């Protein structure tokens, strides 16, 4: 694992630009310190796994993400993703979409 200063120096080289999305995702999922902008990492994981990634999954399910990207685990269900959030932190908002007068 890289030290903080090593991760910063590596990130400053923009090394990820020459990597595939999968390689970016695998690299960062196996490195404890963030070595690329989070938005680059987030996009790489989403596109590699082919599903939306909720930010809390990175903090609460890194082991599961590592296993999922390596093909050792199925993706979590929507319920499992929601249940990762501690109950006292959970706020869910459901928005009902209503039809307009013209049928849309």
Is position 19 within any domain? yes
Tell me how many domains the chain contains: 1
Is position 101 within any domain? no
Can you tell me the distance from the alpha carbon of 71 to that of 51, in angstroms, rounded to the nearest whole number? 14
Residue 36, domain extent: 4-89
Can you tell me the distance from the alpha carbon of 20 to that of 27, in angstroms, rounded to the nearest whole number? 10
Report the pLDDT value the prediction gives residue 16, as an integer from 0 to 100. Answer: 97
The torsion of the CA quartet 43, 45, 47, 49, rounded to 10 degrees, works out to -160
Which residue's structure tokens are 């694992």? 1
Cα 69–Cα 72–Cα 78 angle in degrees, nearest 5:
70
Is position 102 within any domain? no
Residue 23's φ and ψ, nearest 5 degrees, are -60, -40
Is position 14 within any domain? yes
In this prediction the pTM is 0.82
| Percent of the chain surpassing pLDDT 90 | 85
Report the pLDDT value the prediction gives residue 103, as an integer from 0 to 100. Answer: 60
Is position 76 within any domain? yes
3-class state of residue 44 by DSSP: helix
Is position 15 within any domain? yes
Is position 62 within any domain? yes
């Amino acid at each position: 694992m890289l030290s903080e200063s090593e991760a910063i120096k590596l990130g400053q080289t923009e090394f990820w630009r020459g990597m595939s999305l999968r390689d970016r995702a695998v690299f960062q999922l196996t490195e404890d310190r963030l070595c690329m902008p989070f938005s680059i990492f987030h996009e790489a994981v989403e596109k590699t796994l082919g599903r939306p990634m909720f930010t809390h999954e990175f903090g609460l399910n890194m082991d599961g993400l590592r296993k999922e990207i390596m093909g050792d685990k199925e993706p979590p269900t929507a319920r499992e993703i929601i249940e990762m959030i501690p109950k006292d932190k959970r706020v869910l908002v459901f928005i009902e979409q209503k039809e307009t007068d013209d049928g849309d």
